[in-house]
Amino acid sequence: MALRPRRLKWRFAWAITAAVEASISGFLELLPEQELVQQHLIAAVRRQFELYGFAPLQTRSVERVEDLLNQGDTDKEIYGLHRLAEPEAQGATKLALHYDLTVPFARYVREHQHQLVFPFRRYQVQPAWRGERPQLGRYREFIQADADVIGRDELPVEHDAEMVSMLGQTLAGLPVPPVRLMINNRKLLEGFYLGLGITKVTETLRIVDKLPKLGEGGVHEALSKTGLSASQVERCLAVSQLESHESGHLREQIQSLGVQHELLTQGLDEVCIVLDRSAADLPGQVVAALHIARGFDYYTGTVVEGVLRDHPNLGSICSGGRYDNLASTKRALPGMGVSIGITRLMSFLLHLNLLLPRRKTPAQVFVILHSEEQRGLSIDVARSLRQRGIGCLLSSAARAYGKQIQQAERLGIDYVWFPAQGDKPHTVKDLATGEQSEAALQSWQPDAERLDLGRAVHRSTT
């Protein structure tokens, strides 16, 4: 059924006026029509994570300051808490808002390890807070969707492969532009550096991770400053520029650089397993890109990062990695996690003008009020529809029909229900076609396709 062009035009204009304004810098707030899309994305992510057997979890928003600072991420601009009623206690801040979901999760697993079944899989969709300077895609409050699996004593690399596959599958199922997942392995890079005789491994990693930002020249300069020889710098750059979709090809490329180290071999084997396994599920979507190192100190093996394939400069929309020691106590609790930046993804969709929401309500039907005295008729219709799982909204006042229909149009509701009165049967007006026809209260159904919120996101051609 084709939409009338006039209406279509008007609807697009409406969508574009719906801009986002933040009244406190760095804190994004969406309009209802945008939030409906965000909830659609979150629901799709949750569904996929649950299909892989990840249980929902929520940790408290608040951690002990020492537990957050322990991770050595003092640059995370942590927000401390103090009670306004106790201003004198501000000096001794003990509690703070978490800046990610991984550190609180590791703390949760340490605390509850005797009540959990390992390998323990959980996902978590919650906000995190960082007092950073706001910029495109970077907010002071942002929603993350994290999934992690933590093993007891051991966690075979097969889990890394499953996590990367799940991440790719999840993103491929969202109504967003194509995503390119880049994987690497810390052991591969560290082994390569050690094989080259480089001792400042962590520092080298951090610099190399900035390759897309600094460019080849910038990285060259930064590495040289750390005291590396020209030949070391050259080979660090060479390995970081390797990319491959195929494990055999990747092995050849590494070999051609002529560096050998046990850790390098181990890391390369792991990357190849992850690459091969995920390529089966996600042909062409996953690439080994050896410049990926991820900033966090706690990663010890696989690392992964994803960007919108056609907009790589916007930055990553998801990331993750293997951490063998973050949750460990006396007993080893190695983990592997991935994280999707929901707020970041939403802000990119808004920035790229890909978000074209029309509905401002989850209601599918707008029920007309004939008159204030006949309100009971409309309430009965609404009750019946809701009992059948069809969301509806009662007109707020018994104004002229035209005014009431306008209300439905402004909300983006397609179906307007005129309750039966006297001899007249129930009728439904379809605002997209303009047709009005008789309807049976017990069996009428809306067009399911029109309700799909995923269609509110423009999918670029792949």
Q: Contacts with a copy of itself in 264-283 (CB under 8 A)?
A: 277, 280-281
Verify binding: residue 157, a copy of itself, rule CB under 8 A.
Answer: no
Nearest residue (CB) to a copy of itself, 155 versus 264: 155
Q: Which 412-441 residues touch a copy of itself, going by CB under 8 A?
A: none
Query: What is the nearest approach in angstroms of a copy of itself to the Cβ of residue 104?
Result: 9
Verify binding: residue 71, a copy of itself, rule CB under 8 A.
Answer: no
- 436-445 long-range contacts (CB < 8 A, ≥24 apart) are 441/381, 441/384, 441/385, 442/384, 442/388, 445/390
Q: How far apart are CA 157 and CA 138, in angstroms?
A: 32
Q: Give the residue from 312, 50, 293 showing the smallest Cα distance to 178.
A: 312
Verify binding: residue 111, a copy of itself, rule CB under 8 A.
Answer: yes
Cβ neighbours around 156 below 10 Å, total: 12
Nearest residue (CB) to a copy of itself, 2 versus 280: 280
Q: How far apart are CA 401 and CA 394, in angstroms?
A: 13
Q: Which 241-260 residues touch a copy of itself, going by CB under 8 A?
A: none
SS3 label, residue 208: helix
**Which residue reads 């002990």 in tokens?**
64
Q: Which of 194, 237, 411, 432 binds a copy of itself (CB under 8 A)?
A: 411
Q: Which of 41, 44, 97, 211 binds a copy of itself (CB under 8 A)?
A: 97
| Paired residues of 308 in beta bridges | 179
Verify binding: residue 352, a copy of itself, rule CB under 8 A.
Answer: no
Nearest residue (CB) to a copy of itself, 174 versus 208: 174
Nearest residue (CB) to a copy of itself, 205 versus 273: 273
Nearest residue (CB) to a copy of itself, 25 versus 199: 25
Q: Which 28-67 residues touch a copy of itself, going by CB under 8 A?
A: 28-33, 35-36, 38-39, 50-62, 64-65
Query: What is the nearest approach in angstroms of a copy of itself to the Cβ of residue 161?
Result: 9
Q: How far apart are CA 164 and CA 273, in angstroms?
A: 11
Is residue 251 within 8 A of residue 272, CB to CB? The reply is yes
Q: What is the dihedral of CA 210, 213, 214, 219, to 10 degrees?
A: 20
Verify binding: residue 452, a copy of itself, rule CB under 8 A.
Answer: no
Give me 86's structure tokens. Answer: 């106790």
Q: Which of 73, 100, 160, 162 binds a copy of itself (CB under 8 A)?
A: 162
Q: How many residues bind a copy of itself (CB under 8 A)?
A: 90
Q: How far apart are CA 16 and CA 38, in angstroms?
A: 17
Verify binding: residue 392, a copy of itself, rule CB under 8 A.
Answer: yes
Q: How far apart are CA 246 and CA 164, in angstroms?
A: 15
Q: Which of 98, 159, 187, 370 binds a copy of itself (CB under 8 A)?
A: 159
Query: What is the nearest approach in angstroms of a copy of itself to the Cβ of residue 86?
Result: 8
Query: What is the nearest approach in angstroms of a copy of itself to the Cβ of residue 307?
Result: 25
Nearest residue (CB) to a copy of itself, 4 versus 386: 386
Q: How far apart are CA 276 and CA 389, in angstroms?
A: 44
